[in-house]
Amino acid sequence: MTIEILYMILFFLFGTIMGSFYNVVGYRLPNNISLIKPDSHCPKCKKRLGFFELIPILSYILQLGKCRECKQKISLIYPLIELSSGILFVISYLVFGFTGELFIALVFASTSLIVILTDIKYMIISDEVILFSAIMLIVGKLMLSGDVAVILVDIIIPFVFLLIVKILGDFFFKKESLGGGDIKLMIIIGLALGWQTSIIAVAFASFIALPVSIIILAVKKTNVIPFGPFLSIAALILYYFSIDFAIVFDLLYNM
């Protein structure tokens, strides 16, 4: 076994463990439950979960997606978050290696997964998650470049851009078009991607959301669809593929 493969395995295992924690955060914060107490338990029968019921991904498979005590179904999104976290941690290592950008990538991927989970299940993007992640990303960016002006621009422009989109959307559709959490999420995306690519991420997210929204509207007969998951997925794709739209903006500006 090469050292590279060993690192990939370790990052995957660490990622799934962190994904299990993100599931806890994603359930407890929207329900105003402490992250520390009580111990992990079944939300229906309140049975305290043992060690073998807390193994990421594997526990879900062995328990056939049900609580061992009351047979309550466990949402498939939980093992998917754990698996996705493991995969994203590996991708982060492969793309950035042991560099300062790896810290940025892990924070950004982690935040995105929590946002996807909470916005899908509760249509909430927690302020606590945004604030903590923003602090971590700002610290990481300061350690990498130390350019405070660039950091401020990457925060302000994406935030203001989506705020304007929301104001216009609310005006034309005569109802709330975007949630406040989506706008705050742009702070995180701006810090990770830069302001130019963040704006592209909004358009890309809308492109991804359109067909999915049509299907949901047809099946569930609802037009209330969270935008945060699409925004997170679009931003992750642009981030890991290192599509630098700052170059495109510069070329257009100089034409």
What is the per-residue pLDDT across 102-111, written as a single tens digit (0 to 9) for each? 999 999 999 9
pTM above 0.85, yes or no: yes
Q: Report d(CA 40, CA 137) in Å as an integer.
A: 29
What is the per-residue pLDDT across 58-112, written as a single tens digit (0 to 9) for each? 988 988 788 777 777 888 999 999 999 999 999 999 999 999 899 999 999 999 9
- The three-point CA angle 184-188-190 to 5° equals 100
The DSSP secondary-structure symbol of 41 reads B
- The structural domains of the chain, with segments of one domain joined by +, span 1-98, 132-255
The DSSP secondary-structure symbol of 175 reads S
Q: Which two tokens stand for residue 130?
A: 């945004």
Task: Report the SS3 class of residue 45.
Answer: coil
Q: Which two tokens stand for residue 248?
A: 């495109």
What is the per-residue pLDDT across 26-47, written as a single tens digit (0 to 9) for each? 988 998 888 887 777 777 677 7
Residue entry with tokens 């309140």: 46
Asked whether the bond before 211 is cis by omega within 30 degrees of 0, the reply is no
The DSSP secondary-structure symbol of 63 reads T
